[in-house]
Amino acid sequence: MISGMTGFARTDGAGEGVRWTWEVRSVNGRGLDVKARLPAGFEALEAAVREAAQRRFKRGSIQASLAVKQEAAQLATAKVNLAQIDAYLALGAEYVKTGRAAPPRWDGLLALRGATSVDESEPDQMLARLAAPLAQTLEAAFDALRAARQQEGAALAAVFAGLAARIEAGVVEARALAAAQPGAIRERILQRLNALAPEVALDPQRLAQEAALAALRADVQEELERLDAHMREMRALLSAHEAAGRRLDFLAQECAREANTLCAKSQDLALTRIGIDLKTAIDQVKEQAANVE
């Protein structure tokens, strides 16, 4: 069954006093493009994100984002650098003494560079403790995204099946009209000759030759047979367990070429109308193929 390329999934996890959320989303893309948005200290997970996506998908622009929140009891404690604050106070003491600056406020002092610090090893330690559960929830998120894309694929398969039926019906109608073209062509040639030179006796053999040549130029049986073959292949792709988007796009291009040739060869208004309807349906196949993995 074909898969689409759009979807969204979210999974939550908790452990070691930490809560986290994975969000993964996918939109159409010509190839597979995977991006990860990770908090500071969790950059090492990018490789896992890419590997998990590549195992499941062949096409699509995919973004995975991780949000991490520590519970209050687990929050890192900031350390106040009193020596640095004393240095700042000493620098500004003369300005305060002479009235050129207001006395410093504690919140302002804490905001100065180097006044406080946090243990930078904490995110790395947290990642080491949570590596396994983070990976499990990431895998679950990508599984849910794949299910969403498959659901879209099922809807697209129904659309393709309807378009294939429409094209196949058009081929049946065109084949019936094409079978009657040789006789109609001969009759038109005869009418034109009689209108141009009614007094001239026509050579039946020459008339038959001209009619046969004109019918050969207008023959669309090969185009109709190829359209039938392309529709059989398209139906096979709809049930195949593989990426089919590029192949469907190629089939649409081939079908468009056959429909254009049919319209160019047609010498019957009804057959031309069928050709135009075929081209419309084929254009819709090409548009929908852009949504298929």
Three-class SS string for 170-232?
HHHHHHHHHHCHHHHHHHHHHHHHHHHCCCCCCCHHHHHHHHHHHHHHCCCHHHHHHHHHHHH
The answer, as to whether pTM is greater than 0.85, is: no
- Residue 73 pLDDT: 46
Domain 151-289, second-level architecture: Up-down Bundle (1.20)
The dihedral sign for the CA sequence 95, 100, 106, 109: negative
Q: What span, in angstroms and rounded, lies between the C-alpha atoms of 245 and 105?
A: 64
Residue limits of CATH 3.30.230 in the chain: 7-74+121-149
- Residue 16 pLDDT: 79
Q: What percent of the chain has pLDDT over 90?
A: 53
pLDDT tens digits along 224-235: 999 999 999 999
Please tell me the number of Cα atoms within 13 Å of 263 on its side-chain side: 14
Write out the H or E segment, with its range, that includes residue 113: none
Residue 252 has pLDDT above 90, yes or no: yes
| Mean pLDDT score, 10-30 | 93
- Residue 276 pLDDT: 97
Residue 54 has pLDDT above 80, yes or no: yes
Residue 77 has pLDDT above 90, yes or no: no
Highest mean pLDDT: which range of 176-185, 187-196, 278-287: 278-287
Q: What span, in angstroms and rounded, lies between the C-alpha atoms of 10 and 12?
A: 7
Q: At 235, list the tokens.
A: 């139906």
Residue limits of CATH 1.20.140 in the chain: 151-289
CATH topology of domain 7-74+121-149: Ribosomal Protein S5; domain 2 (3.30.230)
pLDDT tens digits along 145-173: 999 999 999 999 999 999 999 999 999 99
